[in-house]
Structure 1
Amino acid sequence: MDHEKVICTACLHQLPLTNYLTDNENQADKVFYGRTPINAAYALLVFRKKNMVQVLLHNLKYKRQFEISYFLGEWTGEILKNSARFNAVDIIVPVPLHKNRLKQRGYNQVEGFGKEIAKSLNANYRDDLLLKVSSSRKQAFKNRISRWNLMEQSFQLTDTSAISGKHILLVDDILTTGATLEACIGCLRKSEKIKISIATMAITI
């Protein structure tokens, strides 16, 4: 209808929210327990196969409906700005795409998500600080250990001084195993005295 934005009202009310900011059982936090220290983690929606969230994110990534990214970012930003865990974020950094994938798709699906959160938190959005320097396709047939070693080498921090002493919010679309985000965190930690938090559109549970 005319007054609706991106998602119709009926579908909007059916989207499965995590409610992690009010729930002590925050599964987004738990993904990283014992693996890498983070300040806080948040995911907006619950992703399951064949549910509405899967359709939504498929349309974002493969149907060029990038307005979904901005919509979910505005929604998430409104939630995070009321949380003490996220209200001191300095810089928003998106998980980058490899240049070949970016050229193929034409956009990073988390760009709008990150930019809208940055507006809400009065933070800077920087997509030039973290680069993906190798393609994930090259990792497809490696064993688990080899794949992890390659993942650690897949990302490059371009300016350590720009994030030194800052609170970084790393954003992505879906949190599953956390391997990609953990690799990004390892790269960001080459800078000194930083705090890292995470926000994603959805989490697979």
Structure 2
Amino acid sequence: MPTGLKNIFSDFLTLLFPEFCQACERTLAAGEDLVCTHCRLKLPYTNVHLQPPDLNPLAVRFYGKLPMKHVLAYLYFNRAGRTQRLLHALKYKGVQEVGELLGTWYGHNLQESGYAHAFELILPVPLHPRKRRQRGYNQSDSFARGLGNALSCPWSNQVLKRTQYTSSQTHKSRPERWENVAEVFKVIDPTIIQGKKILLVDDVITTGATLEACGLTLLKAGCAEVSVCTIAAA
């Protein structure tokens, strides 16, 4: 099909089946993908990657608990806001492309800010196989993929394993969250992470208990250092 006819056909399909912004549900304009330009400009960016480590407000969640090299989050989480709608689309509507898009955007930001060689392997926090079967996918995988592509850094969801099925962390206190995830992670093959700078990624950081437990497992298995990066920070 000639290019001109392809464009006409594409425009016709868009007219019949318009695509909507995953953050505000308005119709996307030509050239927009998943998130409209207006929402992209209005997203609540943390910009913690631009701050010195000792001034990073997220890093304090790990002080005295686990030595983290970098603590990063792309967006702030606000209930009923754009970030929550994007995460809802990613986690519950099956729109995995949202995670990859946000990972790509943030990965480019990190690369431009001097993080191009800061990590040697990106690992998403794993779901228990039972929960993965229920959802059909791990929402952190797509974010890891986007970050990896933008940073030219390998990623894998075959290194970490969650060995126990745990209940939701949503309504638990900090001690309850830690007890809920302590010792539930395992490194399948420690030789893969030996001496490497690991970037551990998840969808949201709240108290940091899950990332702390996972990071501790990685350090015990012999990696050189652990950094964390999430889509959002509560």
Q: TM-score, normalized by length of structure 1? A: 0.91
Greater shift, 147-156 or 97-106, is seen at 147-156
User: 1:103 offset after TM fit, Å?
Assistant: 0.5
1:189 to 219, 224, 231: 219
1:159 maps onto 2:189 in alignment: yes
Greater shift, 178-187 or 44-53, is seen at 44-53
- The separation in 1 between residues aligned to 2:90 and 2:173, in whole angstroms, is 30
- The separation in 2 between residues aligned to 1:53 and 1:75, in whole angstroms, is 14
Greater shift, 143-152 or 61-70, is seen at 143-152
- The equivalent of 2:35 in structure 1 is 7
Task: Judge conservation of contact 1:39–1:85 (CA < 8 Å) in 2.
Answer: no
Unpaired segments ≥5 residues, structure 2:
1-28
1:17 maps onto 2:35 in alignment: no
Q: What amino acid sits opposite 2:233 in the alignment?
A: I
Aligned length: 204
Unpaired segments ≥5 residues, structure 1:
none
- The separation in 1 between residues aligned to 2:95 and 2:59, in whole angstroms, is 29
User: 1:169 offset after TM fit, Å?
Assistant: 0.3
1:33 maps onto 2:82 in alignment: no
Q: How many percent of aligned residue pairs carry the same amino acid? A: 38
Q: What amino acid sits opposite 1:64 in the alignment?
A: G
Greater shift, 167-176 or 192-201, is seen at 192-201
Structure with greater helix percent = 2
Deviations 1:54-104 (A, max 9, x none): 111011100111110011010111011133356231100000011111111
Q: What amino acid sits opposite 2:49 in the alignment?
A: L
1:89 maps onto 2:114 in alignment: no
1:65 maps onto 2:100 in alignment: no
Q: What amino acid sits opposite 1:37 in the alignment?
A: P
- The separation in 2 between residues aligned to 1:146 and 1:17, in whole angstroms, is 29
Task: Judge conservation of contact 1:80–1:87 (CA < 8 Å) in 2.
Answer: no
Question: 1:140–1:134: structure 2 CA closer, same or farther, 3 Å change rule?
Answer: farther
Greater shift, 131-140 or 181-190, is seen at 131-140
User: 1:149 offset after TM fit, Å?
Assistant: 4.1
User: 1:136 offset after TM fit, Å?
Assistant: 1.4
SS at match of 1:103: helix
Q: What amino acid sits opposite 2:36 in the alignment?
A: C
SS at match of 2:46: coil
Please identify the structure whose Cα radius of gyration is greater.
2
Question: 1:81–1:147: structure 2 CA closer, same or farther, 3 Å change rule?
Answer: closer
Task: Judge conservation of contact 2:174–2:209 (CA < 8 Å) in 1.
Answer: no
Task: Judge conservation of contact 2:167–2:180 (CA < 8 Å) in 1.
Answer: no
Q: What amino acid sits opposite 1:30 in the alignment?
A: V
RMSD: 2.2
User: 1:20 offset after TM fit, Å?
Assistant: 1.0
- The equivalent of 1:199 in structure 2 is 229
- The equivalent of 1:100 in structure 2 is 130
